[in-house]
Amino acid sequence: MTPNSGIGAHVSTKGGFVQAAKRAHAQGATAFQYFPKNPRSLSLKALDAIDARQCRDYCMEYGLASIAHSPYPTNPALGMSRGEAGYHAVIASIRNDLEIADACGSVGTVVHFGHMKSDDPLVGYQHIIQTLDMVLEQWDGKAKVLLENQAGDHGPMGTTMEEMVQIRKLCSHPEHIAFCFDTCHAFASGMWSEGEEQAMLEKGRKLGYWDALAAVHFNDSKYASGSCKDRHARIGAGRIGSDGMKALLASPEFGKAVVVMETETGKDGTHREDIALMRSWQ
């Protein structure tokens, strides 16, 4: 099996970004995910250059990879449908996340595909392209927008690999866009069912989806395939199951990605147990 770019989980940034890196390292992780700012707001956060540099240096010293996760209100599919102020707030927020992620030495910032209700479904896709083009205009950092697939709980937008590939292709700066594949979201949306992992992986190869994969949210699903319910379970404890999660982790596509869990912690309040389990599968 190809060694992963990193295995870990989402961690708190209490005390700063370097403290997040130290928390990840303390539980045996070689990767972690963090919120660059308040996850419930699009309000911008001033970059603490010293903290970010300390985080980057610590990660280099201990071999840690990291990804940021943009706030939950980030919805590039809305465009100006809810007003110009909201549109520019999303653009500024994603750019702010990219700048923080870049300063911390992170691979990029995860951005949900987004959703909107419209009589013309193409409108939402046009909004996503326009928003990402504005975000990435004149962006010269190494951190990328990591476009994440969705579970279908807000509708069918963003639930297929075809959409991801096409949106990236149509954007003006595809070199600054990569993918974050959420296993729970993909399973819940009906992208594959139990035991069909290899067929799903092969489909992604044919589409070229995995060529742009940079990160994985490694979450089991509390609900069945096609449920469209975004409810994460600890790895091996959900409907994907241990065999399915093992098959995914063993794939060469996942092997090149930063793999992080967004699941419940163990009894000790950390993901140490699940990280050790994942390592036993390698």
- 64, 31 contact by CB (below 8 A): yes
pLDDT digits (tens, 9 = 90+) for 13-41: 999 999 999 999 999 999 999 999 999 99
3-state secondary structure of 130: helix
pLDDT of residue 61: 98
* Residue-averaged pLDDT of the chain: 96
pLDDT of residue 2: 38
β-pairing, 232-233 with 220-221?
A: antiparallel
Higher-confidence residue of 2 and 226: namely: 226
Residue 4: band (very low, low, confident or very high) from pLDDT cuts 50, 70, 90: low
Q: Give bridge partners of residue 68 from the DSSP assignment.
A: 34, 109
Q: Give bridge partners of residue 179 from the DSSP assignment.
A: 147, 213
Query: Residues of the chain with pLDDT > 70: what percent?
Result: 99
pLDDT digits (tens, 9 = 90+) for 94-152: 999 999 999 999 999 999 999 998 878 899 999 999 999 999 999 999 999 999 999 99
- The answer, yes or no, to whether residue 73 has pLDDT greater than 80, is yes
* 245: nearest Cα among 214, 253, 237: 237
What are the residue boundaries of the structural domains of the chain, listed by start? 6-151+159-220+242-260
Higher-confidence residue of 115 and 5: namely: 115
Over residues 157-178, mean pLDDT: 98
The dihedral of CA 100, 131, 173, 219: what is its sign?
positive
- The answer, yes or no, to whether residue 171 has pLDDT greater than 60, is yes
- 210, 173 contact by CB (below 8 A): no
Residue 3: band (very low, low, confident or very high) from pLDDT cuts 50, 70, 90: very low
Over residues 152-164, mean pLDDT: 96
The dihedral of CA 184, 185, 188, 194: what is its sign?
negative
- The answer, yes or no, to whether residue 77 has pLDDT greater than 90, is yes
- The answer, yes or no, to whether residue 1 has pLDDT greater than 70, is no
Hey, what's the torsion of the CAs at 7, 10, 15, 16, to 10 degrees? 70
- What token pair was written down for 218? 């490694």
Q: Give bridge partners of residue 221 from the DSSP assignment.
A: 232
β-pairing, 220-221 with 213-217?
A: unpaired
pLDDT of residue 58: 98
pLDDT digits (tens, 9 = 90+) for 137-147: 999 999 999 99
pLDDT of residue 282: 79
Higher-confidence residue of 1 and 134: namely: 134
Q: What is the full DSSP assignment across 154-175?
A: TBSTT-SHHHHHHHHHHSS-GG
Higher-confidence residue of 282 and 156: namely: 156
b/e map 86-107, b = 16+ CB within 10 Å: bbebbbebbbbbbbbbbbbbbb
The CATH architecture to which 6-151+159-220+242-260 belongs is Alpha-Beta Barrel (3.20)
Q: Count other C-beta atoms under 10 Å from residue 231's C-beta.
A: 16
- 192, 235 contact by CB (below 8 A): no
pTM: 0.97
- 222, 232 contact by CB (below 8 A): yes
pLDDT digits (tens, 9 = 90+) for 221-262: 999 999 999 999 999 999 999 999 999 999 999 999 999 999
